[in-house]
Chain A
Amino acid sequence: MKATKTSATRLNVISSGWNLVFVILLAFVALFILVPMLLIFVVSFSSELSIANRGYSFWPEAWTLDGYKYLFKTGDQLANSYLITSFYTVTGTLMSMTVMTMFSYVIAQRNFPLCRALTWMLFFTMLFSGGLVPSYILNVRYLRINDTVWIFLLPSLVNAFYTIILRTFIQTTIPETLFEAARIDGAGHFRVFTSIVLPLFKTGIATVGLFNVVTRWNDWFIGMLYIRNPKLIPLQTMLTKIQDSIEFIKQNASIAGTPDGIALLRTLPDENLRMACTIVVILPILMAYPFFQRFFVRGLTVGSIKG
């Protein structure tokens, strides 16, 4: 087995000359990906003076930890946003996964009379949607969940695409005979679900759960559209807000010279502080994802085998 594996891998290998050419080509692409992120990283350690003199650069005149020091001294909003984003990432993912795995179990039961109807009810939402405006009116005017934590949890509770993926996971990894056997032994559906399906189904849940975590951590849109209370502003929205206020002053240069504008500019975070903020926001995911990479790859491939 092992021997065939190695010989098979080698079959697909090219000569060392071309290998070198390809290595250089691929490494060049990697640079293209990494260099912009490196710039943010370097600016977060650049002194304010060298930014003022030379703009952003990969090699500043002076290095400093000021950005990070300020961040930990004055980062109330950051700490608060970190907390709220973590809260709604964890709670939202747990709620979503509970509801979606149960539903995917139900639509994986081929002899349930409503199986087809429910699958279609879910699937149709992927084909047609009311769009942004009716949802906005519903949330703001009728449910009144804007500016509350519920806006992060409820409208994103179920993702049709992920639920279909979960169902595919159940159908492809758990043999139907196993359900039948358990049912003959007298276990109810809920028992079968919690004691047989969930344990066998860990990879599927981990995969979809991780995608859910990333999506929620990275969401800035809900915060931008629905949240006014600064205590509920998530991390990513906070980043766009910082950026927007700086852009606003720069685009409207006329107020920049006025006392008001100068006062406003003074309250703006310094450049390195802003970049330090960005680094602190992206670091957890960039550090964690290589360890979970196999789940993401698996999710991608299963996701491409549609419902």
Chain B
Amino acid sequence: MLMNQMKVRKKWRREHNTLLAMAAPTIVYLLLFCYIPMVGLVMAFQNLDISKGIFNSPFVGLRNFEFLFSSSDAYIITRNTVLYNLVFIVFNMSVSVSAALLLSSMRSALFAKTMQTIYMMPYFLSWAVVAIVVNAFLDRDNGLVNAMMESLGRKSTTNWYHQMRIWPPLLVLVNAWKGVGYQTVLYLAVITGISTDYYEAAVLDGASKWQQARYITIPHLRFIVGISIILSMAHIFRGDFGLFYNVPMNSGRIFPVTDVIDTYIYRALTYLSNVGMSTAAGLYQSVVGFFMVLIVNWIVTRLDPDSAMF
């Protein structure tokens, strides 16, 4: 859509100074907080000494990247980021589309509305709060899970923050708990937006409710669902920092299954103060992510030009 702007020759007029002045704060912001940091990515090729700053620190070529990719870390964090995102996309999509379909067929509008309000609630909680909620279940001493096991006669002192096997399904569940309501509401809006003419015609032809869902609602949804899946692929190299840092409580024993690129960068910066390597990891993420966006956009342009990002 950005491309569609008219190619008419535009002349600069006096009134355009006002427009430029109105845009000025944002222009300054973008240059300072978005474009200068992009230039700052040269730190990935430096051995940065914070006290000397980026103008006086020595260049070390690709050494930061060698350091990053020679350990198994790069593989583990990339695998975790991509796999979790894939599962999140598929799982959240299936749950929210099903919920939206069911909600749209409810007889009582009040019930549907109430459910919608409840489903959306966790979307308004911060990851800091969600981590506390999860901890209320998993805490070793007081958590509900261990307490319930004890009341069943099996005294449990399991520290769930050390148990790798529970975390992959748990993170999927927690992510869905927080995000599914938002998506459900979105798909519900799409379903409500489908022209009623289709359903009237279907009823005249004697179609049952199931047939209406099968032949009208689902095909309408299939399009937007397909496009949303492809579009979310564009961000597949970006891990949700709040989820992966807060919910596992930054517990080191389970890093192999909870560490994603974003948490790795954060720790390399704050715990190791390794600016060069964390910038290298960030550059790796930005570049791979950028190409992912380009590929995704190319695919979407083929399928449906109107849904293309640019």
Contact = CB atoms under 8 A, between A and B. Distances in A.
Contacts of A177: none
A137 B120 contact: no
B75 interface: no
B172 interface: no
Interface residues of B, number: 115
- Binding site of A, secondary structure by majority: helix, strand, loop or mixed? helix
Contacts of B20: 106, 114
A184 interface: no
Interface stretch (B37-45, B80-88, B163-171): B37-45
B65 interface: no
A132 B282 contact: yes
Interface stretch (A62-70, A72-80, A201-209, A297-305): A297-305
B279 A297 contact: no
Nearest to B95: A29
A193 interface: yes
Contacts of B105: 12-14, 19, 22
Interface string B63-95: 000000000000000000000000000000000
Contacts of A71: none
A134 B37 contact: yes
A307 B309 contact: yes
B11 A240 contact: no
B173 to A, nearest CB: 9
Given A56-B143, A102-B26, A141-B53, A134 B177 contact: no
Interface in A236-258: 236-237, 239-240, 243-244, 247, 250-251
Nearest to B132: A278
Given A26-B102, A193-B22, A306-B307, A16 B107 contact: yes
Interface in A123-178: 123, 125, 127-138, 141-142, 154-155, 157-158, 163
Contacts of B147: 54-57
Given A12-B105, A121-B27, A271-B142, A128 B126 contact: no
Interface in B122-164: 122, 124-129, 131-137, 139-144, 146-147, 150-151, 161
Interface in B9-35: 10-12, 15-16, 18-20, 22-23, 25-27, 29-30, 33-35
Contact of A137 (B43, B121, B196): B43
Contact of A221 (B41, B140, B242, B282): B242
Contact of A118 (B25, B27, B189): B27
B2 A55 contact: no
Contacts of B104: 12
Nearest to B277: A133
A203 B109 CA distance: 24
B295 to A, nearest CB: 12
B197 to A, nearest CB: 9
Contacts of B189: 297, 300-301
Interface string A1-37: 0001001110111111011001101110110111011
Given A26-B99, A127-B293, A131-B285, A118 B12 contact: no
Interface in A176-227: 183, 188-190, 193, 214, 217-221, 225
A118 B23 contact: yes
Nearest to B34: A125
A273 interface: no
A9 B203 CA distance: 12
A306 B30 contact: no
A195 to B, nearest CB: 14
A25 B101 CA distance: 12
B26 A99 contact: yes
B154 to A, nearest CB: 14
Nearest to A238: B128
A237 B131 CA distance: 12
B22 A103 contact: yes
A193 B21 CA distance: 13
Nearest to B279: A133
Given A134-B38, A155-B33, A296 B142 contact: no
Given A56-B144, A129-B34, A133-B275, A36 B133 contact: yes
Given A13-B209, A133-B279, A289 B43 contact: no
26 contacts: A11-B199, A15-B209, A19-B106, A33-B119, A37-B133, A40-B136, A55-B142, A55-B146, A99-B29, A110-B6, A121-B30, A134-B38, A135-B40, A137-B43, A137-B54, A190-B18, A218-B125, A218-B127, A236-B126, A244-B250, A251-B251, A278-B129, A300-B185, A301-B189, A306-B309, A307-B1
Interface of B: 1-2, 5-6, 8, 10-12, 15-16, 18-20, 22-23, 25-27, 29-30, 33-41, 43, 48, 50, 53-54, 99, 102-107, 109, 111, 115, 117-122, 124-129, 131-137, 139-144, 146-147, 150-151, 161, 177, 181-182, 185-186, 189-190, 196, 199-200, 202-203, 209, 212, 224, 228, 231, 241-242, 246, 249-251, 262, 265-266, 269-270, 275, 278-279, 282-283, 285-286, 289-290, 293, 307, 309-310
Given A11-B212, A239-B126, 5 more contacts: A23-B106, A33-B121, A130-B36, A134-B279, A243-B135
